[in-house]
Amino acid sequence: MSADVADEGRMVTQHTEIAIIGGGVIGSAVAFFLRELGYDGTVTVFEKDPSYQFASTARSAASIRQQFTTTVSTQMSQFSYGFLESLPERFGDDGDIGMFRGGYLLVADAARADALRACHKTFVSLGSDIAWLDAPDLAQRFPWLNTEDLVGATLGLSGEGWFDAYMLLRILRREARKLGVVYCDQEVTGIDVAGDRVTAVRTASGAVWSCAMAVNAAGPAGGQVAALAGCELPVEPRKRTMFVIQAPLSNKGMPFIFDSTGVAIRPEGDRFICSAPPDPENDPHPGDDFEPDFNLFEDKVWPALAHRIPALEELRMVSAWAGHYEMNLLDHNGVVGPHPDLANFLFATGFSGHGVMHSPATGRGIAEWILNGRYTSLDLSPLGYDRIRTGTPIREALVY
């Protein structure tokens, strides 16, 4: 394994027991749960963008769903939803994340109906409260929806919704700092490795922080940070654009709709937000590009919305923004847990759009591993690094 190795006798200017690289919602969740579970050692979170202006967390259209077909993802959603629900009880008015309890509606045409029916059976078997709606039921429940080409849909009845990701981040960061976690507003630009252990992290200022353990919670930069330690991790940023629209349609009672075309729409106040992934051939590494892709709206989003919800033929775009997904190019699922050759280098990245919703479960899992050397509640080992090494993807039937 190639990596920068600390020279013997090199002066180390500072020390922290736990170095968390990335102070977004996942890194802050790790820090929060370390304290919540009783860890009393020093914890330092390194965040290169303390304003969070370009952070994935702040640019997320944060939502949470139970509709996964893998056990580990479903369990993470179930825990995370319960945690989000508990915030007002824990912190009173300071625990408000603007939680809106609304279900996901996944619609299926004839080509996708059998697959979605099979997914629904899995949802139920995993304990999720998800209904199957045939086309007549769908039309009756949502009369503004064009169901002519649909066979059915799944609808979350509980345990799903959307919220303000930045408010969640502020809570986790605030409570972690109250409990002694230090936030260092510096980018990690180097990681020292000696033998089979990370020994220090280096920042852009030239500071060296020795550490007993390091956590890669760097989001879209997760692959880049892994490379600093000599590790391969197929996690790169991919740009995603959200559009805010108005239309002559009440959004009261509207679920978060995922169309068979890949286009998605949900209420946002008295407006709507909508999106669609670009075609794979038009989805490059974005670099520093945060400009909204307006061509995507004209070419893909608007036509699909106008077909599925005829009232949206008269929509008006109000604004748009773009953020970066931390895309795991192997299977679009998170990578969680220790590197097999660097036992004190842990991953918490690569969630490909699921990071905010699964941040509480990820934070608790990583904290448990640091404290106990194993997971003591949810078993997150299916998300471990071994599948990256062997090229064995997780088969999740519903990746958005």
pLDDT higher than 50, residue 376: yes
Cα separation, 241 vs 322, in Å, equals 4
Query: Can you give the length of the chain in residues?
Result: 400
The pLDDT of residue 1 is 35
| Angstrom distances, CA of residue 6 to CA of 12, 279, 338, 346 | 10, 44, 21, 19
pLDDT band at residue 104, thresholds of 50, 70 and 90? very high
Q: Partners of 211 in the beta sheet?
A: 16
pLDDT band at residue 12, thresholds of 50, 70 and 90? low
pLDDT digits (tens, 9 = 90+) for 222-279: 999 999 999 999 999 999 999 999 999 999 999 999 999 999 999 999 999 999 999 9
The pLDDT of residue 398 is 84
Q: Which fold has domain 14-60+165-234+330-390?
A: FAD/NAD(P)-binding domain (3.50.50)
Cα separation, 395 vs 325, in Å, equals 20
- Overall pTM surpassing 0.85 (yes/no): yes
Q: Which fold has domain 101-158+237-327?
A: D-Amino Acid Oxidase; Chain A, domain 2 (3.30.9)
Nearest residue to 231 via CA among 245, 218, 249 = 218
Q: Partners of 41 in the beta sheet?
A: none
Long-range CB contacts for residues 297-300, cutoff 8 Å, separation at least 24: 297/241, 297/243, 300/261, 300/262, 300/263, 300/276
pLDDT higher than 50, residue 7: no
Cα separation, 365 vs 378, in Å, equals 7
Domain residues of the chain, as ranges? 14-60+165-234+330-390, 101-158+237-327
The pLDDT of residue 3 is 39
